[in-house]
Structure 1
Amino acid sequence: MKNGLIYLFFLLISMIACDRVSSNKTVDRVDIIKEKIIDEPRSKHTVWKSLSDSVKIELASELSKYYRKKKDSSNFYLWNSHFLYLSQINGNSIETAEAYWDRANFNEYTSHLDSSYFYFIKAFEIFEGFGDQKHAASMLYSAGVVQRNLKDYIGGEVTTIDAIRIYENLNDNRGLYKCCNSLGIIHNNLNNFELSLSYHSIALEKAKEMSDLNLIAASKNNLAVVYREHHDYEESVRLAKEGLQWDSIYQKDRELYARLVDNLAYSQFKLKKTGKEIFDALEDARAIRDSLGDESGLSVSNIHIGEYHIENGNIFRAKAILRDELIHAKKNSSASDLIHALDLLGQIDPENSQKYLQRRIAISDSLIDIERKTQNKFARTQYETNKVIANNEQLASEKKLIIISGVIGIFLVSLIYFLNMQRIRVKKLRLERAQVKSNEEIYQLLISQQNHLEEGRRLEKNRMSKELHDSVLGKLFGIRFLLTSLNGQ
């Protein structure tokens, strides 16, 4: 027995080791094929035909992620479509959700935000259906961010709060941090100062609970922005300085470092500090953002530097920077930065102020129209999502009812079977007892009969003995008499 257990143990170990080796070989093979296709795009058709479906799914997933990071639209959609199609025909719903997730992220990167929202919701529905709450919450959070970026603030708030409910059940502080941070931004955009501060403060507490210095610095920056935009520049300066106290910030997160430096310098500028160190700090933040390719941050720096030049009377330099910003903001589809730059140009260029005003109005009207259409799209998608969720809940309820009914049915059948078996068992016991009683009676009759036979034998034996005795005795007397008679003669 002991040798058998040892053999079984080593057999299991060897099976696990073989499985790991097989898995590693598959990963290595996929990596090799991936590199071959990336290096030699023309080889993809020949290579693709020779692969099994499982390897194709893994390869398509890896290439989809690779081209997503490269922002290569044509190759991304090609491989993402392969990934999505194969996952669907093979019934791999989790892989289907991952394909939707990749597509949502890519559309977000390329500013196709309405499509991004759609695919985040599609992925959410699948993850929720499989009970994968962590990924379901992540999809809702991302969908809320997309709504926020499209200025659907109310919709974004609702979606983000739905994500918070899931993260609270999971006790996921990092997820709660992200959601509270996003809600802080939403309410700042809605000019709900107190609510924005409240959510950013909650996010800061979550960051402190996790002892994450990067998130703590980010929350300090977010709070500094809120205070700055509500004209409390002294508090903004204090918070930005606290954020910069993380000594590794420049090495570990240069983008955050640039945001903090820009916020600090701009708030100090708003406090009427116009020294060279302020301008140098604004330029430093701009240079870092430019080197990182942070387009949205670069727009903010351009506008802040433009304001600095306006305040210091350098109108020519301010016009040049702000006109460049008009091109930059248009290129990056940043409507809010475009409007801000137009407002500033309208102030310093009276000759063209009417032109800037008309352009600003056109952009504002276009934004309102886009927001309305987007909200309608979100409303339809949300309606369809709610409908799917309601159907899933109904199916879940029906499934639960079927399970409960089945359990009750099995219980009743088992009870009837048990009672019937008990009845049969009792009946059997009664028959066995009756049989035992009958056997006892028969045994008693047999014993009684045996006693009668023994008594008959004894009486017959006595009778025969008596007859034999009398016969023999009579003959003896006869012989004796005869002998007596003979002796008398």
Structure 2
Amino acid sequence: MDKMIDFIKFLFYAIIILMNLTSCKDSSIIKNKRNHKISTKSQKKNSIINNDTIPFDYKEIFKLKKNKNISKLAYIYFNMGLYFLNKSKSDSAFYYFNHSKEAFLIENNYKFIGKSLINIAITQANEGDYIGSEESAVEALRYIKDLQNNTLLSAAYNCLAISKTELKDYDEAIKYYNMALQSSTNKISSINIKNNVAVVNIKAGNYINAIKILNNLNKDPFLSNLPLHQARIIDNLAYAKWLLNPYFKADKDFYYSLKVREQYSDLLGQIANHYHLSEYYENNNAKKAIFHANKMYDIALKLGNLDDQQVAIKKIIPITSQSSSIKYYFNLYEKISDSINSKRVQAKNKFALMSYEVERNKEENASLKAENAQKSYQLLKQSVIFGSLSFLAILILVFLIFWYQRRKAKFRQEKTEEVHRTKLKYSKKIHDEVANGIYFLMVQLENNSDIRPTKIIDELELLYQKSRDISHDAEFNLDLKDDFSITLRNMIKPYGAKYTKIILIGNEPHIWENISINKKEEIYYILKELMTNMKKHSKADIVTLKFKKEDSTIIIEYSDNGIGLSGSFINSYKDLTDIKKRLNPIQGSYFIDSEKKRGFAIKIIISI
């Protein structure tokens, strides 16, 4: 009978592990929600909205919209977003921050555009939408990068670090936390960031690095007036030491931290301590392990924190000895998992719908403007109709006079165009195969001083062969036998220099499945053209390339924060005509974001 019970326990535990492989090795920031609150706490004082003023503010919004007072409306939207974010009402917060962003865009207020986007990123992270949070934080950086505002930069990098941590990209998370630390101007904020770097090291299994960071923090005399911060550091330090050495006696430090957190009613901190104590006693005192896991569950239930409830139940199942209890906890675990998944899906859908509504409103406003312009045009047309008829009569007469001459010239023009097309054909080949190849080699030499001479010779030999092929009218085909995502990454990587960061999003192997070689080759040269123009002219320090597959199309979104389509830079984009010629045969099209206030953005859509 005992063997049967043990088998049932093992079976249930194995199923749970397979269903949820995520590990929570530091409950001090189990879902990083404490970090999110750190980012918004300092903003709370800026919000002048409360429960009593909400009805007034709704009326004020209606009045301001009617009077088209965009400037004041933007700040009302922003404060409404802060109010709902502090109330943990993510959908409302997301809605108002989105509207504040759009209003501040009209005002060209880059500081508050960045603030709105950072708060959107925080809201998305709070609801588990970490990819969306990352995209919003990257967008915020485009607007605040040149403002020299360290507080905003630190907040944006902190958002990126949180998202990378939750997506288990720990190296990137540490990189962004260090960037946030460089921008931090607040001592407490710096301590929190260093603690978070240590936590990410613990998650990554780098216990020695974590211990070194936490030991230095623990020696800081500044912490003597911050008992809760000190308790968190002592707790994490003991946990890292115990993970490094299972014989380390960590219970004394765990209980000390727990006592401090109970004294100051720090419920999130208590959850962390009970998790550490449950794990600490798991293999040598099942009774205590279950006790602390239950305490963790009770506090998480009180806070309405489903993630921590799930973690607590997951700790209880493998160490409980009663088969009836295993069944109860297993059913409870499944119920909580369903609730978490449902909540996150609903949040993502709501965020997507609200973003769509904002874009639709912009389109409706543009349509209304076009309608008003059309009415004005009709009035103007009626006032000059007789003059127009006279002009039309003259135009017809001129057409009849020159029609015969144009007909005779048509044949000569066709011959000229044929010659021109032939020139363009070879010019295009030389530009794509030789000129861009030479510039690509220059970029590699510029960014990689250790490149082998034999590699340079091989590249030059390849360029020589291409030029010979062109002279013999032979077609040159790009070798695309390797994974196309790797081919693109290797082509794009050299364009990222010391002061230019290139962010690739969505360039995964499955994106390029079922795409013909011909279309891949055209995509390769189109992106190479964009990167070459960026390198030569844009002066951008952040470049983003995002790849998506939707239904039967591939969507490529390029954007940078350079000088945009202005000054001498516009001349470099005359090659957009060549891009269009490349896209036409492969059922593709492009759209330039002409409303973008900063930098350059183009969306390329290709039918699969």
TM-score, scaled to structure 1: 0.59
| Residue number in structure 2 paired with 1:226 | 200
| CA distance in structure 1 between the aligned counterparts of 2:113 and 2:364, rounded to whole angstroms | 17
| CA distance in structure 2 between the aligned counterparts of 1:285 and 1:396, rounded to whole angstroms | 62
- Closer, same or farther: CA 187–271 of 1 in aligned 2, 3 Å: same
- Closer, same or farther: CA 125–304 of 1 in aligned 2, 3 Å: same
| CA distance in structure 1 between the aligned counterparts of 2:137 and 2:46, rounded to whole angstroms | 27
**Displacement of 1:367:** 1.5
1:318 aligns with 2:289: yes
For residues 87-486 of structure 1, the aligned pairs below 5 Å read 88-89=62-63, 93-207=70-184, 210=185, 212-251=186-225, 253-272=226-245, 278-313=250-285, 315-351=286-322, 352-388=325-361
| CA distance in structure 2 between the aligned counterparts of 1:377 and 1:302, rounded to whole angstroms | 34
**Displacement of 1:243:** 2.7
| CA distance in structure 2 between the aligned counterparts of 1:125 and 1:255, rounded to whole angstroms | 39
**Displacement of 1:108:** 2.8
**Displacement of 1:396:** 11
Is there any run of 5+ residues in structure 2 with no aligned partner, and where? 1-43, 372-608
1:327 counterpart letter in structure 2? D
Q: Is the 8 A contact 2:47 2:83 kept in 1?
A: no
2:354 counterpart letter in structure 1? T
Q: Is the 8 A contact 1:148 1:156 kept in 2?
A: yes
**Displacement of 1:129:** 2.7
- Closer, same or farther: CA 161–213 of 1 in aligned 2, 3 Å: same
Q: Which moved more, 1:81-90 or 1:338-347?
A: 81-90
Higher helix share: 1
1:283 counterpart letter in structure 2? Y
Q: Which moved more, 1:334-343 or 1:241-250?
A: 241-250
| CA distance in structure 2 between the aligned counterparts of 1:177 and 1:64, rounded to whole angstroms | 19
| Residue number in structure 1 paired with 2:22 | none
| CA distance in structure 2 between the aligned counterparts of 1:64 and 1:164, rounded to whole angstroms | 22
| CA distance in structure 2 between the aligned counterparts of 1:249 and 1:202, rounded to whole angstroms | 23
- SS at 1:169 equivalent: coil
Q: Deviations over 1:259-300 (max 9, x none)?
A: 322211111121235555x32322333333334443323222
Q: Is the 8 A contact 1:87 1:93 kept in 2?
A: no
Q: Is the 8 A contact 1:346 1:357 kept in 2?
A: yes
Q: Is the 8 A contact 2:47 2:82 kept in 1?
A: no
**Displacement of 1:310:** 2.5
- SS at 2:55 equivalent: helix
Higher strand share: 2
| CA distance in structure 1 between the aligned counterparts of 2:339 and 2:136, rounded to whole angstroms | 25
What RMSD in Å do the two structures reach over aligned CA positions? 3.2
| CA distance in structure 1 between the aligned counterparts of 2:367 and 2:261, rounded to whole angstroms | 51
**Displacement of 1:190:** 0.6
Q: Is the 8 A contact 2:224 2:230 kept in 1?
A: yes
Q: Alignment identity in percent?
A: 23
TM-score, scaled to structure 2: 0.49
Q: Is the 8 A contact 1:303 1:325 kept in 2?
A: yes
| CA distance in structure 2 between the aligned counterparts of 1:377 and 1:234, rounded to whole angstroms | 42
Q: Is the 8 A contact 1:84 1:99 kept in 2?
A: no
Q: Which moved more, 1:229-238 or 1:106-115?
A: 106-115
Q: Is the 8 A contact 1:326 1:338 kept in 2?
A: yes
- Closer, same or farther: CA 397–317 of 1 in aligned 2, 3 Å: farther
1:370 counterpart letter in structure 2? K
Q: Deviations over 1:33-58 (max 9, x none)?
A: xxxxxxxxxxxxxxxxxxxxxxxxxx
Q: Is the 8 A contact 1:80 1:99 kept in 2?
A: no
Correspondent of 1:77 among 35, 51, 64: 51
Q: Deviations over 1:82-115 (max 9, x none)?
A: 2342354265655544444344334333332222
| CA distance in structure 2 between the aligned counterparts of 1:141 and 1:323, rounded to whole angstroms | 36
**Displacement of 1:147:** 0.6
- Closer, same or farther: CA 297–105 of 1 in aligned 2, 3 Å: farther
| Residue number in structure 2 paired with 1:466 | none
1:337 counterpart letter in structure 2? D
| CA distance in structure 2 between the aligned counterparts of 1:157 and 1:332, rounded to whole angstroms | 26
- Closer, same or farther: CA 234–64 of 1 in aligned 2, 3 Å: closer
Q: Is the 8 A contact 1:138 1:163 kept in 2?
A: yes
**Displacement of 1:379:** 1.1
Q: Is the 8 A contact 1:279 1:305 kept in 2?
A: yes
Structure of larger gyration radius? 1
- SS at 2:341 equivalent: helix
Is there any run of 5+ residues in structure 1 with no aligned partner, and where? 1-61, 69-75, 399-489
Q: Is the 8 A contact 1:299 1:329 kept in 2?
A: yes
- SS at 1:350 equivalent: coil
| Residue number in structure 1 paired with 2:60 | 86
| CA distance in structure 2 between the aligned counterparts of 1:387 and 1:249, rounded to whole angstroms | 50
| Residue number in structure 2 paired with 1:37 | none
Q: Which moved more, 1:119-128 or 1:285-294?
A: 285-294
- Closer, same or farther: CA 83–181 of 1 in aligned 2, 3 Å: same
Q: Deviations over 1:196-227 (max 9, x none)?
A: 122122222323xx4x4333322211111111
| CA distance in structure 1 between the aligned counterparts of 2:291 and 2:173, rounded to whole angstroms | 35
| CA distance in structure 1 between the aligned counterparts of 2:300 and 2:55, rounded to whole angstroms | 32
- Closer, same or farther: CA 354–177 of 1 in aligned 2, 3 Å: same
| CA distance in structure 2 between the aligned counterparts of 1:353 and 1:321, rounded to whole angstroms | 17
1:358 counterpart letter in structure 2? N
| Residue number in structure 1 paired with 2:466 | none
- Closer, same or farther: CA 382–295 of 1 in aligned 2, 3 Å: farther
Q: Is the 8 A contact 1:64 1:102 kept in 2?
A: yes
- Closer, same or farther: CA 389–304 of 1 in aligned 2, 3 Å: farther
- Closer, same or farther: CA 391–157 of 1 in aligned 2, 3 Å: farther
Q: Deviations over 1:42-84 (max 9, x none)?
A: xxxxxxxxxxxxxxxxxxxx99957x7xxxxxxx333222234
1:215 counterpart letter in structure 2? S
For residues 14-29 of structure 1, the aligned pairs below 5 Å read none
